[in-house]
Chains A and B, each alone.
Chain A
Amino acid sequence: MIVAERKKIPELVEMLKGHKKILVLGCGTCVTVCLAGGEREVSIISSALRIASRNSGYDFEIDEMTIERQCDNVFIEQAAEAIAKHDVVLSLGCGAGVQAIAERYSEKPVYAGLNTSFLGVLEERGVWTEKCSACGSCVLHKYGGICPITRCAKHMLNGPCGGSREDRCEVRPDRPCAWQLIYRRLKGIGELDRLKNIEAVKDWSTSLDGGVRMLIREDHRI
């Protein structure tokens, strides 16, 4: 899922100052699951903004709403009436959600209330980790299901760098070296020979480097 975190209240206040009627719009999908932009967080952020507004002399009038998915026009439509009544939308969706709302309501300022962080998983209560860079050409089968593009800070495709330690990455002491994980995993499933092959340079054209991406499923188009 998409993992995001809330922006700090002072940053939001700075962003919103000059506006009066503000709609804080949550999203019921990924950002609800990662506790950043669901109904609960809409309520918390709205309350915090009301307090900050009073304290700093801004005159925010804040309403709250959460729709199922901000990245889907069917659901965005449900917010049309509420959006029309406000000067500005503070979206607590991911970056895709913010843009989808902004494109649909071209006359209305739409601001991002979250920092969209990564594609990841819930590791344990309150801890999410990044797993996928959406490079558009998956190589996980070669690496025992552990992505070196995402989880190695240097995107090494042929083994660890010289700074690899069995218990940590060169870059951060609290993060494992992806290559140590790949090695153990491949050894465990009897596929260590995969590591002996030289992986040729990657074609990054399927990633963001190839320009903004678009997926067209002709079989689903009318």
Chain B
Amino acid sequence: MKHNSNLAKRIEAGDFVLTAEFLPRASADNSSAGATISSMSNVTAVNVSDNPYGPVMSSLAGSVILRNAGVEPVYQIITRDRNRIAIQSDLLGAACLGIRNVLCLSGHHQALTGSPDSSNVYDIDSIQLIAAVRQMRDQGILLNGTKIEGDFPMFIGAVANPFMKPMELNVIRLKKKVEAGAEFIQTQAIFDVEGFKEWIEAAQKEGITEKAAIIAGILPFRSAVEAENKRDKYMDMSIPDQVIERMNSAGDEEAQRKEGISICVEVVKEIKGLDGVKGIHILSGGRESSISEVIAEAGL
């Protein structure tokens, strides 16, 4: 069995897809977030992040919560915290629990999370993870050669930062992700539309957009301060000064929050029709309630 997720089916049918992001909390009960997400309309699948900012509920458990709430999860796995043994074991467990989409990442270094004193694993990198999942699915074998009993139907995703320079290196890496087995690519949040256009054109030239569905990321900031903090701390985020200035000049807290959504709406308008863009991924930054607002405002 290749894969059978709704996300895969809709992408293969040529639909413009909508995905969103759920950040599990540091709680043994994430059911309220699950309920918020299950009320969202038009979203085909929801990513469950894997401890991006420090320890929270596992992405596997979060994915199961969503699935139980009737939402199709995209189970995110980073290679920072688990070796190949743990990752493959979790992947088999995820498939058993009905999870059908996986997103393979290296993850933020622990120095950027709330646990800078932690060790890391990085037994394998994100491209090796993609290749491992592909091998498990298509050849039915684990990295050590063990045969998997039964099917392992998983739709395989990867991430890309369109703003990582130089472009030549960026595209080499993106191409490798697709060659390794990625079938969809979710991007980092886009604020620099021109920069994104340059990237997707470069990807198109290499034939990458034919082989994998590019799902363009957007992120509604709540405030100028949040945007500034993200810009300064996370090098995988590219946030132009104009965005921060615009958020700052929007006014009070509520006005800034609304401005964050307006910025996303404008980005969506500019990129939705671009060749090679097969969907929009709404990053929530942990504020899942803002996802519905973006969907409504952007007419998604």
A48 within 8 A of B: no
B13 within 8 A of A: no
Cβ contact within 8 Å between A170 and B169:
no
A166 to chain B: which residues have CB within 8 Å? 165-166
Cβ contact within 8 Å between A157 and B125:
yes
Cβ contact within 8 Å between B109 and A154:
yes
Question: Once the chains are docked, how many angstroms separate the CA of A160 from the CA of B165?
Answer: 10
CB distance from A135 to the nearest CB of B (A): 12
B188 to chain A: which residues have CB within 8 Å? 162
Cβ contact within 8 Å between B159 and A201:
no
Q: Chain A CB within 10 Å — which of B111, B120, B124, B234 has the most?
A: B124
Given contacts A159-B172, A163-B108, A166-B165, contact A198 B160 (CB under 8 A): no
Tell me the dominant secondary structure on chain A's binding face: loop
Cβ contact within 8 Å between A156 and B175:
no
CB distance from A213 to the nearest CB of B (A): 18
A196 within 8 A of B: yes
Cβ contact within 8 Å between B127 and A162:
no
Closest residue on chain B to residue A149 by CB atoms: B122
Given contacts A196-B172, A196-B176, A201-B84, contact A156 B132 (CB under 8 A): no
Give the contacting residue for A163; candidates B160, B173, B235; CB below 8 A: B235
Q: Which of A139-191 contact B (CB under 8 A)?
A: 153-166, 168-172, 179-180, 183
Cβ contact within 8 Å between B166 and A183:
yes
Cβ contact within 8 Å between A153 and B169:
no
Question: Once the chains are docked, how many angstroms separate the CA of A183 from the CA of B172?
Answer: 10
Closest residue on chain B to residue A183 by CB atoms: B169
Cβ contact within 8 Å between A154 and B173:
no
Cβ contact within 8 Å between A200 and B128:
yes
Question: Once the chains are docked, how many angstroms separate the CA of A5 from the CA of B22?
Answer: 44
Cβ contact within 8 Å between A154 and B122:
yes
B31 to chain A: which residues have CB within 8 Å? none
Question: Once the chains are docked, how many angstroms separate the CA of A124 from the CA of B120?
Answer: 30
Given contacts A171-B109, A196-B175, contact A165 B80 (CB under 8 A): no
Cβ contact within 8 Å between A160 and B128:
no
B161 within 8 A of A: yes
CB distance from B91 to the nearest CB of A (A): 14
Cβ contact within 8 Å between A154 and B106:
yes
Closest 7 CB pairs between A and B?
A162-B161, A159-B173, A162-B236, A158-B127, A163-B235, A163-B236, A170-B235
